[in-house]
Structure 1
Amino acid sequence: MALLLLQVAGSILVSWKYPEPYMDEIFHIKQLGTYLNWDFATWDDKITTLPGLYIASWIILQVFPIHKFLGLVFASRLINALFGSLCWYLLRSLKDPKTSEIIMLYPPLFLSGCLYYTDNAALLSILLSYLFLKNKKNKLSALIGLFSIICRQTNIIWIGYFVLIEISAGLGPSLYQNIKTIWKQKYAIIQTYFPFIILLILFIAFLIVNKGIAVGDRENHIPVFHFTQICYLALIMALYTDYDQNLWIKALKQLKNVFLFLWLVLISLGVTYFTYEHPFIIADNTHYTFYIWKNILKPYLYIFPILFEISFIYLFFRAENSLRYFIWIFCSCVVLIPAPLLELRYFIIPIVTFLMQTKTKFSKIRILALYAINIVTLGIFVFKPYKNIGFLW
């Protein structure tokens, strides 16, 4: 309950300080306003995602037209807070309450949840799709999955991830035996998950017609091979999970392994030749990533490969199932590596999917620390702006 109150309070405070659309909200709220005027043909070319967020918001505001007396900006942010609350509720159904709280306290997710951004809607729709998938309602799951893709195109990968997780649920540790089992059951698997095959075909058709994944602002979202993105994720994920000293020691001991030494060499080469400095990250000093990149990552990047490798190993030991871990790594690579920009919000769904498949015991100190971080960053955003521009992640 404290988390929900903090999220709503955050939306109210942000709307008090910033009554006009803020940063990316300029495009999102303008597009929602266009839909509320019953103009569904006009599209802002600066928006990269499909209109799922605006469609959902439009439906809500048709039923509860709170924008008529609260204003569209405040109403939009309250809708996003509602989406965040529903995410928390679904996570409690899919996982334990403490883990769901930790997930929703991920600072970039919390702070973006106080604005009208796409993160909460994208997460909510993918969680709802997974809930129905777990309950064997595959047609409904695929239908909601379609809407999830309309909220954010890369959600197709996470729909595939959850399908693979369900397929692998009854498999053992032997890779060879698992392949044999899947091959024997291939027709039953195709029949069971056929709605998702249709979904994949529709998505491929979209890519062909659209000539790419982004629907707007393509010049700033040209796919690259940004290998270091998956390394950033591993480090953040290892630090964000609960601290286990024994697992960290176990991970460090694995560095003597010859195979893992070769993996370290590959990580070093990948970081050296496939790290990108997007113009956005050096042009905007009101994002914390600007300072993380400028003062930590860029000048000391040469020491990070060893930290990245230890993080990968630690997460492997932390994962409940090695097959699921490698599926997660693969899906995270497909989503993150093509992205040229280091943006902490891109890691939200990878972090959620990992924590959902992992047994964790978060201490009260860690939870309180996350509350403190979010309260402080919210306070800085509202009360300590730089030239009337607040600091975001």
Structure 2
Amino acid sequence: MATIAAPTGGPTAVLPRPSTSILPVVATLGLLLSWLLAAVNKTVPDPYMDEIFHIPQAQKYCEGRFDEWDPKITTFPGLYLVSTLYFKAASTLNVGDFCSVAVLRSVNVLFALGNVVLCVLLRRHVAPQDPNALLHALRIAVFPPLFFFTFLFYTDGGATFFVLLMALLAEKVDLLQYPPARGSFMLSATCGAVAVLFRQTNIVWVVFVAGTVVVRCVELAHSKFIYGSLKEDTSVNGTSSVTHSSLRVFLNFISVVISNIPSILLIVWPFVVLVLGFISFLVMNGGIVVGDKSNHEVTFHGAQPAKEIAQIGPPERCPVHKFMLADNRHYTFYVWRKFFLKHEVAKFLPTPLYLFFGWHCWDELGRRRSPLWKLVYALAVSLVLIPSPLVEPRYYCVPFILLHLNTSNQSAFHLWVVTAVYMAVNALTLYIFLYHPYTWVDGSTARFMW
């Protein structure tokens, strides 16, 4: 079997210059986000929800107190380190308190705008003939859970930004022109490391990107061996042979990978080093959480991918986190209490919808991506969602973005309609958040949020 190799040449992991057509959209969106951020800062001037942990910690870093750490914080300090760099840049403008709540929240506005640019570039790479790449990016930018947390000092904006940047840099590497021994994926893996500093579970997306690189390499050198008999099997024997053919493709892929491990490691070693380093952290730390582990225990939540694909797990594999039953500041509390907990069978009522949309998403991915790429994506989504006992809409942001960027072309009308629906949801949720507070059990002001 042939060894995977590539001709020598210069590295091509260089970001293309954004089209000037992006700039007016980004500028307009920036004005809208800035206006909404000002409204949030005016109505909610103090840290809210998880901000009560994130903002004081970031302010400690702002003051150079890097040896102080709040044990209640469960993530790495990526958000605080990047914010500190932002502070230093803002301080040169002499605009006042550059460690304030308002300035901290503005970090995510910048990440949101950066995510738009990255989504455009990724879509243009995946679908060069799609004239609506900008609309795809706009639709993603206003995806309600992602849009809402643009105005709070949360890790979502930065975590998403560096995952997308890692994916883009990996996609831009030309496997036919770069020398594998020089580590052309080093920059992509570095962005992956920063993404992990924002959120530990982003290590799964590092593995995902590495997996897609391996798939590209193997398909490039051994496509005929892997897929050669797939069409013949399905055309002769009908759809009943699809499962058998898919299994054959997978086994052929594994066979090629095992036969070419040294060559593959020369290509993906930056990702391997990062993953091995993270595994070492898990062993030494005793878990994925760096602070309070009591509320973030790893469990098997078989229903999590169901929200993304199909709910097929038995009831005992659908654990309910205590926050979902006790914290009525989140919409998931009401969905769970008013629907899923009414009757035991309610957990399974949406199953036909899950199955339909799961099949539809799988079919859509197949129009752009190979069966092996889809398999890597499905495994990554499962690894991100299944271990989490807490159902958080924002956990679905990266799976949604990657799914959407890799689907078939959609009409401008369809994209505009979905974007309008998203914006209507955003207007409603922000209005409720800002102007319908209530008194919580401890006497503090509570607000509804995702």
- Normalising by the smaller structure, the TM-score range is 0.7 to 0.9
Give the counterpart letter for 1:341 in structure 2: L
Tell me, yes or no, if structure 1 residue 146 matches structure 2 residue 146: no
Pick from 270, 275, 281 the counterpart of residue 318 of structure 2. 275
Pick from 49, 57, 68 the counterpart of residue 31 of structure 1. 57
How far 1:11 moved relative to its partner?
Answer: 1.4
List per-residue Cα deviations over 1:119-152 (Å, max 9, x = no partner): 0010111112222222333111112211111111
List per-residue Cα deviations over 1:286-323 (Å, max 9, x = no partner): 21111111223333213133332223222221213332
Change (3 A) 1:297 1:318: farther
Please name the residue that 2:263 is paired with: 188
List per-residue Cα deviations over 1:322-355 (Å, max 9, x = no partner): 3222221211111111111111111111111222
Please name the residue that 1:228 is paired with: 303
8 Å contact from structure 1 (residues 125, 147) kept in 2 = yes
1:373-392 maps to which residues of 2 (within 5 A)? 373-387=425-439, 388-392=445-449
Give SS of 1:303's match. Answer: coil
Tell me, yes or no, if structure 1 residue 215 matches structure 2 residue 261: no
Please name the residue that 2:119 is paired with: 91
Which blocks of at least 5 consecutive residues in structure 1 are unaligned? 236-266
Aligned CA RMSD, in angstroms, stands at 1.9
Give SS of 2:294's match. Answer: helix
CA distance in 2, matches of 1:341, 1:286: 14
Give SS of 2:389's match. Answer: coil
List per-residue Cα deviations over 1:146-201 (Å, max 9, x = no partner): 11111111111101111212222362443344334434433221101111111111
CA distance in 2, matches of 1:287, 1:119: 17
CA distance in 1, matches of 2:98, 2:57: 18
Please name the residue that 1:289 is paired with: 332
List per-residue Cα deviations over 1:266-286 (Å, max 9, x = no partner): x54x24221122111121222
Change (3 A) 1:157 1:217: same
CA distance in 1, matches of 2:265, 2:56: 42
CA distance in 2, matches of 1:16, 1:271: 46
Pick from 339, 348, 352 the counterpart of residue 302 of structure 1. 348
Tell me, yes or no, if structure 1 residue 46 matches structure 2 residue 75: no
8 Å contact from structure 2 (residues 308, 358) kept in 1 = no
Select the structure of larger CA radius of gyration. Answer: 2
8 Å contact from structure 2 (residues 299, 386) kept in 1 = yes
Pick from 340, 346, 357 the counterpart of residue 311 of structure 1. 357
Pick from 67, 77, 80 the counterpart of residue 108 of structure 2. 80
Q: TM-score, normalised by structure 1?
A: 0.87
Give the counterpart letter for 2:387 in structure 1: P
Residue identity (%): 31
CA distance in 2, matches of 1:67, 1:226: 47
8 Å contact from structure 1 (residues 125, 145) kept in 2 = yes
CA distance in 2, matches of 1:30, 1:144: 26
Pick from 388, 394, 397 the counterpart of residue 345 of structure 1. 394
The number of residue pairs the alignment matches comes to 361
Change (3 A) 1:178 1:88: same
Please name the residue that 1:332 is paired with: 381
Change (3 A) 1:218 1:176: closer
Please name the residue that 1:107 is paired with: 144
CA distance in 2, matches of 1:28, 1:312: 35
Change (3 A) 1:297 1:97: farther
CA distance in 1, matches of 2:135, 2:374: 22
Which blocks of at least 5 consecutive residues in structure 2 are unaligned? 1-24, 124-132, 174-183, 228-248, 440-444
Give the counterpart letter for 1:311 in structure 2: F
8 Å contact from structure 1 (residues 67, 74) kept in 2 = no
